[in-house]
Structure 1
Amino acid sequence: MPLDRLSPRLPGSLFALLLASLPLAAAAETSPPPHRLDVQAHAELEVVPDQATLSARLWERTPAIAQRDASGGDAEALAEARGRLEERAASLIQAMESAGLERDAIRAGSLRVQPEILHDRSGKNDEPTPLVRTRLERPFEVELNDLDRLPTVLDALTGAGVDALDGVTYDLADRDTATDEALSQALQRAKHKAELMAASLDVALGDVLSVSENQAPVFQPRMMAMSADARESGGATEYRPGTLSIDATVSVGWEIEGLKSEE
């Protein structure tokens, strides 16, 4: 509605105030946004792991029998294989405790049962005969908080007769502190870049206008697979932890002062 139609209905002082506020509102709507400097920075933090998890497996198999005879299964052979497996598992845990590990540091996984199909070519007609056997497997994980004991524990595992050593996973006990440090370094890097750019452009940095994480700190435990059979490698001392990388990326925007506007 036009203002000249409103004026008779409004008190004079209120109408005058309304008219006075119009230029201010228009100025606010048309005021240019502040000049800003946007910077993206990346930080990569190298940390030395202080934890390790060793993965190993034990397994036993039932005797292979003709597939046509295995429809009902061989409960006795299965029970015997499971008994041998559990006996070896108990010996492995005892060996780990003898190596100085606490019982809580040793985790035995669930029993896995898997049929295996074989082909016997020893027949007279040279046609393969399908055979079947059952493999019972139990995985183990051993956690270490002292990496200096890694060779000793590897020797104990191989001495206990594990069928497979799947590798060593290196980790950090305090991940939060490390990821916080990576993020802090990324922000410091962003500030350094902004100050360098501002000095080169002969402008001054003002308030921070925006901050965002382009990539949150990423931490990934590193797996090192065993390079040879557990009983033949003999290379426990070659498993050095190395370092782990944590990456972080941020974007920060500053208001800048002293930049001349283009006419």
Structure 2
Amino acid sequence: MPIARPLRPLLVPALAILMVTVSPPMLSHALAAETPSRLDVQAETELHVVPDRATLNARLWEHTPAIAQHKGSTNDPDALREARDRLETRAASLIRALEEVGLERKAINAGSLNVQPEHLPGERSAQGERETLVRTRLERPVRVQIDDLEQLPRLLDALTAAGVDALDGVSYDLADRDGATDEALVKALEKARHKASLMAETLDIELGEVINVNETRSPVFQPQMMAMSADTRESAPQAEYRPGTITIQAGVSVSWAIKP
């Protein structure tokens, strides 16, 4: 009878152990070869621009006579017509006054008529109860577009002389918003490139091509409202209007490859 020879089972486990031991360094080396070294830089900038355009908002209004609420409706056709006629007359006078100081008619926008009731406290009765008065308010907004800021003092004087009931202020803008936005973005990119060059020189590395660019902050307008100061020359206050500047912020993130 043939004698059975013993098997050699240690070869397979030993080979398996060898494969497990060798595989991680090889995988790490392959990943390292596929992942380039890179330099990531973020940069933000602010651009301060003097505005060259302004929008002025004012309002005119008229009221119907106030009557006691218990006496019926305030929608008296005659009272409403008279109040509207007064309002339209004042609006026309205002437009003429603005044109006389050099403003073109197309730059003046008289908004739609707004009609709303208003409740007012009346006198107390003998029983101590306070009656409620009701009237109707008719209002017209007026919006003025100013492309020459030198006109602003004269326009404000004209509005005051015309007796506007409310002046809601002046908001400043830029005629070329896109150009200012592009300039802010370019400055942010230039700042990122400067930072990357400075870091590369300090660390003694050489930058390769740009491999990634992101806009981290879209350009945002931060307009300044009108500021006024009084100068009492010749014993008469003279208004001085300072528009300030419009601030545009922009931010970017740029990544460069580092040459080996």
TM-score (norm 1): 0.81
| Partner deviation per Cα, 1:205-254 (whole Å, 9 max, x = no partner) | 10000011011111244444899xxxxxx977332111010000000000
Task: Quote the Cα distance in structure 2 between the aligned partners of 1:56 and 1:151.
Answer: 15
Q: 1:47 to 1:72 in 2, by over 3 A?
A: closer
Residue 17 of structure 1 is matched in structure 2 by: none
Partners of 1:236 and 1:193 lie apart in 2 by: 48
Q: CA RMSD in A?
A: 2.2
- Check whether the contact 2:63–2:138 (CA below 8 A) recurs between aligned residues: yes
Give the whole-Å Cα distance in 2 for the aligned partners of 1:156 and 1:72: 34
What's 2:240 paired with?
238
Contact 2:53 2:149 in 1 (8 A): yes
Task: Return the offset for 1:71.
Answer: 2.9
**C-alpha displacement of 1:114:** 1.1
2:105 corresponding residue in structure 1? 103
Structure 2 residue runs of 5 or longer lacking an equivalent are 1-28, 230-235
Residues 72, 100 of structure 1: alpha-carbon distance in 2 compared, 3 angstrom cutoff = closer
**Structure 1 segment 23-62 matched on structure 2, within 5 A:** 31-62=33-64
In structure 1, the residue matched to 2:9 is: none
Q: In the alignment, which residue of structure 2 is the partner of 1:214?
A: 216
Q: Distance in 1 between the 2:228 and 2:124 partners?
A: 35
Is the partner of 1:55 in helix, strand or coil?
strand
Q: Does the 8 Å contact 2:119/2:134 carry over to 1? A: yes
3-state secondary structure, aligned to 1:242 = coil
Partner of 1:71: 73
Which sections of structure 1, spanning at least 5 residues, go unmatched? 1-26, 228-233, 259-263
Decide whether the 8 Å contact of 1:166 with 1:225 is kept in 2: no
TM-aligned CA distance change 1:200 to 1:174, over 3 Å: same
Offset from partner CA, 1:70-92 (integer Å, 9 cap, x none): 33721111111001000000000
Cα distance, 1:113–1:49 mapped onto 2, change above 3 Å: same
1:72-87, aligned counterparts within 5 Å? 73-87=75-89
Indicate how the Cα distance of structure 1 residues 236 and 90 shifts in structure 2: closer, same or farther if over 3 A, else same. Answer: farther
- Pick closer, same or farther for the CA change 1:72–1:47 going to 2, 3 Å: closer
In structure 2, how many angstroms separate the alpha carbons of the residues matched to 1:114 and 1:223? 30
Q: Supply the distance in 2 between the matched residues of 1:158 and 1:80 (Cα, whole angstroms).
A: 23
- The 1:86/1:131 distance shift into structure 2, 3 A limit, reads same
> Given residue 41 of structure 2, which amino acid in structure 1 is its aligned partner?
V
Q: Which residue of 2 aligns with 1:134?
A: 136
Where 1:63 maps in the other structure, the secondary structure is: coil
* Contact persistence 2:43–2:188 (CA under 8 A): yes
Q: Could you say which residue in structure 1 is the equivalent of 2:25?
A: none
How many percent identity over aligned positions?
63
Alignment partner of 1:115 out of 112, 117, 120: 117
CA distance in 1, matches of 2:32, 2:107: 67
AA aligned to 2:169 is G
User: Residue 49 of structure 1 aligns to which amino acid in structure 2?
Assistant: P
State how far apart, in whole Å, the 2-side matches of 1:167 and 1:173 are: 19
Q: Assess, with a 3 A threshold, how the Cα gap between structure 1 residues 80 and 235 changes in structure 2: closer, same or farther.
A: farther
Q: Provide the rounded CA distance (Å) in 2 between the counterparts of 1:162 and 1:226.
A: 19
Normalising by structure 2, report the TM-score: 0.82
Q: Kindly tell me: are residues 207 and 185 of structure 1, through their superposed partners in 2, closer, same or farther at Cα, counting changes over 3 Å? A: same
Shift of 1:105: 0.6
Q: Does 1:148 align with 2:160?
A: no
Contact 2:38/2:255, CA 8 A, preserved across alignment? yes
Identify if the C-alpha distance between structure 1 residues 70 and 222 changes in structure 2 by more than 3 Å, giving closer, same or farther.
farther
Given that 1:167 and 1:225 are in contact with CA atoms closer than 8 Å, whether structure 2 keeps it comes out as no
> Given the superposition, is the C-alpha separation of residues 226 and 113 from structure 1 closer, same or farther in structure 2, using an over 3 Å criterion?
farther
**What stretches of structure 1 move > 4 A for 4+ residues in a row?**
27-30
